[in-house]
Amino acid sequence: MFLYERLSFYWIECVKNEKNKIFLSFLSFLSHIYKLFVLRRREKILALPKKKFNLKVIGVGNIVLGGTGKTPLVIWLTKKNLEKGLRVGIVFRGYAGEARGTLLVQDGKNILSTPYVAGDEAYLVSKKVPGTIVIVDRVKERAIEFLQNEYNCDIVILDDAYQYWSIKKDLDIVTIDAINPWGCGYMFPRGFLREPKESLARANVVVISRFDLIDHKDLLKLMQEIRGINPNTKILLMRYVFKKLVDMSLYREYNLNVLNGKRIFAFCGIGNPDSFFLTCKNLGINIVGSMSFPDHTRYSEKDLLRLYNKSKTLNVDAFLTTEKDIVKFNFLKSPNFLLYALSIEAEIFSEGNKDV
């Protein structure tokens, strides 16, 4: 695991900082192969009839690897539809989870799985949005049929569905991060693009996350670029609001001021760790050290020990992480240190900065 971490972070560092030109040349060669594979697969699937369902299907996805705000958007969409009195089902792929086949994570009343089986995203959404039906299944057609037949859902939200071309969706939503919208400008593995940016031409809605962290002129330029690809798409703006801290249960809440005057160590295992550390800095939290783990990390007792040893050498008062990370600590031996997570809420606006 430690070797995998080092290789992952070295690859990310080379891509982001244009380091090791020989290595980057090799990655460019692999990117061309990957791009051809993606385009040919997409062309083949799009040529086939799409599966249609007798309920509303919304796809949420991205064209860039890593954190672009899909999970906060899924939570926001779910809450909005629950407020309308609709029965909502959510389908996750279950990244880094052990689930095979169709796994019922939440039945609308109770959570029936763990983050290590269901995956951290499915488990987190189940905790944050009670009353929903949450499913993990890599075969999304099968999951939709299950939600329709067993739970009579009115609407299904598909997470990470932009590259799932075989289903007829009523709405295809793409999230892009304002700070690095095009994944360093290259296809994976030379960059972080999953598809060429021209694939935004399929999107009904493009949601620009963290729009508030870039200059207004850069935001206008980005919106203009999106319009150049897809003149008919609706553009929404999403920012994150951090008003409180939570503990491992996600239910016990604390004011942010409990961190005032404290020496804090920040860590996370998410797709875009820099965004979390930047958020901590912008909130004025005194971060004396930080550590990144690979996305969807399965934390172990060894990881607890690594964090604890860091706290001793840096005289740390408490640790701070994301909600997606902290839920996994419920299933380990209780850590010997104070541990909080920043609770995240999404606020979404139209282009005119009006609430949606």
Q: How many CA atoms lie less than 13 Å away from 160 in the CB half-sphere?
A: 18
- To the question of whether residue 269 is assigned a binding role by annotation, the answer is no
- Which tens digits make up the pLDDT trace of 134-189? 999 999 999 999 999 999 999 999 999 999 999 999 999 999 999 999 999 999 99
pLDDT class for 2, splitting at 50, 70, 90?
low
Domains of the chain, CATH where assigned = 56-240 (3.40.50.300), 242-344 (3.40.50)
- To the question of whether residue 3 is assigned a binding role by annotation, the answer is no
Strands 133-136 and 103-107: antiparallel
- To the question of whether residue 191 is assigned a binding role by annotation, the answer is no
- To the question of whether residue 228 is assigned a binding role by annotation, the answer is no
What one-character DSSP code corresponds to residue 160?
T
- To the question of whether residue 59 is assigned a binding role by annotation, the answer is no
Mean pLDDT over residues 39-67, rounded?
Answer: 95
For residue 202, count other CB atoms closer than 10 A to its CB: 17
CA distance 349 to 353: 5
- Which tens digits make up the pLDDT trace of 287-335? 999 999 988 888 988 888 888 888 888 999 999 999 999 998 877 776 6
pLDDT class for 94, splitting at 50, 70, 90?
confident
Q: Please enumerate in sequence order all residues whose Cβ is within 8 A of that of 66, keeping only pairs 6 or more positions apart, or say none.
A: 177, 183, 192, 271, 272, 295
- To the question of whether residue 61 is assigned a binding role by annotation, the answer is no
Nearest to 55, CA basis, from 86, 83, 30:
86
- To the question of whether residue 68 is assigned a binding role by annotation, the answer is yes
- To the question of whether residue 51 is assigned a binding role by annotation, the answer is no
- Which tens digits make up the pLDDT trace of 210-221? 999 999 999 999
